[in-house]
Amino acid sequence: LVWDVMGLVLIAYDCVMVPMDLLDPGENAFTTFVAWVIRCFWTLNMVLSFLVGFMRDDGMVEMRPHRVARHYCLTWLPLDAFVVGFDWAELFLGFSNNLNKVGTTLRGLRMVRTVRLFRLLKAPEITNKLAEYMPVSEQLGLVATIVKIMLFFLWMAHVFACLWYRVGVEMRVVSSESWIDSEGVDGMDLANRFSICFYWSLAAFSGDAVILPYNLGERIFTSAVLFLAFVVSASVVGGITTSMTRLQIINSERSSKLAVLRRFLVDHGISRPLAVRVQRNAQHAMAEQKAKAPESSVELLTIISTPVLMEVHFEIHSRVLLAHPFMLAYNDINPAGMRKVCHQGISMLSLHSKDILFSDMEVSETPRMFFVISGRFCYQQNKKN
């Protein structure tokens, strides 16, 4: 899990810094150190990928070395070898500065570093793995979707900003005038250059060209960016609107359910103390469902095979049932029977504070055992006169 998070962080770093090379930021100790970390990390990742198992279609983990190596060779090895090879080629080009023209070498480095963006193809796989390890509620998932859309929007604006600066620099060589000369960007530091370009890029997403192009190349690039910005902006707004609407629907469903319950209690003349208990109990039950989704709300569980569903129920309930000595012994003697008990004989019961589970002299029609998952029971015995 930590290794996957590190890989995702390095991919995000490349997404920011590779376009920044178009602004000629120069090298420093930090960027040099991170470049070495990236080379070593992804090179080591190639070696470890031959040792890490993968999930088969039947849900089992394949750990046989020859199968693992074959699977990696047929999936991610070509891309990893291609990108890692260019990472080390960048190091060779950096050492060859004394043998080549500086301008030619810098252009070669930019081309080599651009190859790092191919690692974006691995980002969905890493995020899917993280989602398997860290399941979240539907509301939090929608918030994460909105954040992801906004980050994609900012990244697109970042890429367009860096390209806009590079277009101005290159067109100044073949044309007598450029937007860089008109804005006086030449003598500015990196932060000011980037802020001006990023401002232009955000304005382009709203359909406004705050910095006018001065030659044919800049006009063509501006027209292309305005068109792409229109398409991207429409997609971003649509995605955010859909997620926000879904969030509002979820919240409104909760409010409407509570409103219907209050109306029922009022219409039937329920006393105020009992009505308060009912409402708090309902709110507690909804909070429990929000924290742990009930099985009835998962539609896909109704279509999977019965043996697999029995294994799911055994994984869920056995950790509680096997704490009882009898259940532990029964599972050793009859594992299939224990799985059937977990599959057919278990029901969940949610209680609120001061609820009465059973009373004195009460005999249940169906014999039952109660296992406390969270909270505690309090046994009270009435005093006899």
Alpha-carbon span 278 to 289, nearest angstrom = 16
User: What backbone torsions phi and psi does residue 380 show, to the nearest 5 degrees?
Assistant: -130, 140
Beta bridge partners of residue 61, listed in sequence order: 55
pLDDT above 80: residue 292: no
Q: 308 or 139: which carries more pLDDT confidence?
A: 308
> Quick one: pLDDT at residue 384?
60
> Quick one: pLDDT at residue 100?
46
pLDDT digits (tens, 9 = 90+) for 372-382: 888 888 887 77
Average model confidence (pLDDT) across the chain: 83
Q: Which residues contact 156 (CB under 8 A, 6 or more apart)?
A: 232
Beta bridge partners of residue 55, listed in sequence order: 61
pLDDT above 60: residue 104: no
Average pLDDT estimate for 118-131: 77
How would you classify the pairing of strands 61-62 and 54-55?
antiparallel
> Quick one: pLDDT at residue 194?
92
Average pLDDT estimate for 213-230: 90
Does residue 211 contact residue 181 with C-beta atoms inside 8 Å? no
pLDDT digits (tens, 9 = 90+) for 156-208: 999 999 999 989 988 888 877 888 888 888 788 889 999 999 999 999 888 87
Q: 308 or 351: which carries more pLDDT confidence?
A: 308
pLDDT above 60: residue 60: yes
> Quick one: pLDDT at residue 197?
92
> Quick one: pLDDT at residue 199?
93
Does residue 48 contact residue 32 with C-beta atoms inside 8 Å? no
Q: Which has the closest alpha carbon to 49: 33, 73, 31?
A: 73
> Quick one: pLDDT at residue 338?
92
pLDDT above 60: residue 99: no
User: What backbone torsions phi and psi does residue 61 show, to the nearest 5 degrees?
Assistant: -90, 125
